[in-house]
Amino acid sequence: MWTEYGDDGLVVLTVLTTDADGNVPTGSDCRGWAQAYGSSHPVLADDAGFSHAVMGGKYGYPLYMLVDRGMVVNTLAEGEGSITEEDIVSLL
């Protein structure tokens, strides 16, 4: 979807909240994730724990956050397939 809706303002980021051992992620973890999953979008390390502060107690993986143009977290959804293309397009 990133390539399809990027010109409309869609930005996709993967944020790692821990490494494979539950530790604070590093840049190396991000590069490994991107390579393993073929990510062409940015993969970031949340080494300050910001994501947990805005997740509202949700810790499922994957966790999707839809942030609108006003930088407001609009949707928190847990699990593969928990958001739809409609959900994303409605915020563009």
pTM above 0.75, yes or no: no
Q: Residue 16 domain-assigned?
A: no
Per the structure, how many domains does the chain have?
1
* Containing structural domain, residue 68: 23-75
The pLDDT tens digits for 44-79 are: 898 888 877 777 666 656 677 788 888 888 777 777
Q: Residue 60 domain-assigned?
A: yes
Neighbour tally for 49: CB within 10 Å:
10
- Residue 29 dihedral angles phi and psi, to the nearest 5°: -60, -40
Least confident of 41-45, 56-60, 87-91: 56-60
- In the chain, which residue ranges form alpha helices assigned H by DSSP? 2-5, 27-37, 50-54, 85-89
pLDDT of amino acid 62? 66
CB 3, CB 86: distance < 8 Å: no
Q: Residue 6 domain-assigned?
A: no
Q: Residue 86 domain-assigned?
A: no
Q: Residue 61 domain-assigned?
A: yes
